[in-house]
Amino acid sequence: MTSRAISILISSAGRRVALIECFRKAAREMGISLRVVASDLEPDMSAACRSADARYAVPAVGDAGFVPALQEIASREHIHLVIPTIDPELLPLAYAFEDFAAFGCRVHVSPPAVIEIVRDKLTTTAVLGAAGVPVPRTVALEDFVAAGEWSWPIFMKPRSGSASRAIRIVASPDELPAKVGEPMIAQENLTGPEYTVNAFIDARGSLQTVITHRRIRIRAGEVEKGLTERHPQHAVIAHDIVRALPELRGVFCFQIIDDAALGPKVIEINARFGGGYPLADYAGARFAKWLLEEVSGLPPSCQNDWQAGALMLRYDQAVFVDDADE
């Protein structure tokens, strides 16, 4: 398909104003007309939805009506590309990929088999570890035995959590919870600098770009202050991840802790745009532009020549609305 007018839908848009601006900047450079549609549970209270050209309310991600609502929006607005932004929506959208494709809409999501793996942190470490990717020792919490072969403290987190929800360091056996409200995992506790590695795989399955930023300060699981750095070993790890997950497509990111004693370990994979993507975009890893090129049929401009030493210092910015009661 070749088109000079593209419509995209940012799903679960929330506060992703900077992501929208990355797509708008790319469209201006490409000379295409871009219409940005955004959806959320409460779009009138979403800064990103207010910044879009149109906004829609949709049911919660876990609701049976979530995907049909997005399909209706995509059909009505003639959407070419759907961009999910949170982990819980990836699997339902992956299963609905062909339904969207039937009316010419591409969902930026990997196949269900990939999402099933990356949404389960226990399975993720097993699959990656078997492929030679460095990962921390990980077991299901119910299988964890406070024996001598584990060193304390340990790290505990939900098997399918995100945004740093319910994570904790457990210093001793006495601090292990008697009951938990969801499946949890136990991992060896790592200490050292943390990194996010953003990567882009083109439609043919070729890994095009790997860009690292150091996570200087984090808020609610997303980088607030970050600095792009070159770490050749991170690129090697990215290629190993792609070999372990050969159907992975589009934008993904993973987190590394470089432990002083154990070396770098992959602790997380997100098969979507990460919250720190605007830093990668600024540094020259133009994933938004490359996705627009793919859906518009324009020649790809993917490259791996990005700027190290780019610093992002995030701050809160208000979106003011005069017609909030209308």
Which residues are CB-contacts of 70 (< 8 A; sequence separation ≥ 6)? 9, 11, 39, 58, 82, 93
- Has residue 23 been placed in a domain? yes
Domain range for 61: 5-109
Nearest to 59 by CA among 39, 81, 79: 39
Higher pLDDT, 179 or 15: 15
- The pTM for the full model equals 0.93
- Has residue 125 been placed in a domain? no
DSSP secondary structure string, 57-114?
E---TTSTTHHHHHHHHHHHTT-SEEE--SGGGHHHHHHTHHHHHTTT-EE----HHH
Domain identity same for 156 and 204: no
Domain identity same for 10 and 69: yes
Q: How far is CA 256 from CA 11, 197, 317, in A?
A: 27, 8, 29
Question: Average pLDDT in the 31-49 region?
Answer: 97
Domain identity same for 246 and 161: no
Of the three residues 172, 188, 204, the one that is the final residue of a domain is 188
- Grade residue 325 by pLDDT with cuts at 50, 70 and 90: low
Cα 23 from Cα 222, distance rounded (Å): 20
130 has a pLDDT exceeding 80: yes
- Has residue 129 been placed in a domain? no
- Grade residue 322 by pLDDT with cuts at 50, 70 and 90: confident
| Residue written as token pair 């990980």 | 138
Helical axes 17-30 vs 287-296, angle rounded to 10°: 50
Domain identity same for 165 and 217: no
- Has residue 271 been placed in a domain? yes
- Has residue 219 been placed in a domain? yes
Domain identity same for 249 and 163: no
CA 92 remoteness from chain centre: 15
Computed over every residue of the chain, the mean pLDDT equals: 93
- pLDDT tens-digit series, residues 225-280: 999 999 999 999 999 999 999 999 999 999 999 999 999 999 999 999 999 999 99
- Has residue 208 been placed in a domain? yes
Cα 273 from Cα 287, distance rounded (Å): 9
Angle formed at CA 101 by CA 17 and CA 253, multiple of 5 degrees? 45
Residues in a beta bridge with 252: 199
Strand order across the 33-40 sheet:
54-57, 33-40, 5-10, 81-83, 106-107
In sign, the C-alpha dihedral spanning 23, 28, 31, 35 is positive
- Has residue 132 been placed in a domain? no
Cα 282 from Cα 234, distance rounded (Å): 20
Of the three residues 188, 208, 226, the one that is the final residue of a domain is 188
- Grade residue 2 by pLDDT with cuts at 50, 70 and 90: very low
- What's 232's domain CATH number? 3.30.470.20
In sign, the C-alpha dihedral spanning 85, 91, 92, 96 is positive
Please state the domain count of the chain. 3
- Amino acid 148: pLDDT: 55
326 has a pLDDT exceeding 60: no
Nearest to 282 by CA among 311, 243, 247, 317: 311
- Grade residue 145 by pLDDT with cuts at 50, 70 and 90: low
Angle formed at CA 105 by CA 243 and CA 199, multiple of 5 degrees? 30
Which residues are CB-contacts of 121 (< 8 A; sequence separation ≥ 6)? 138, 157, 158, 159, 160, 161, 185, 268
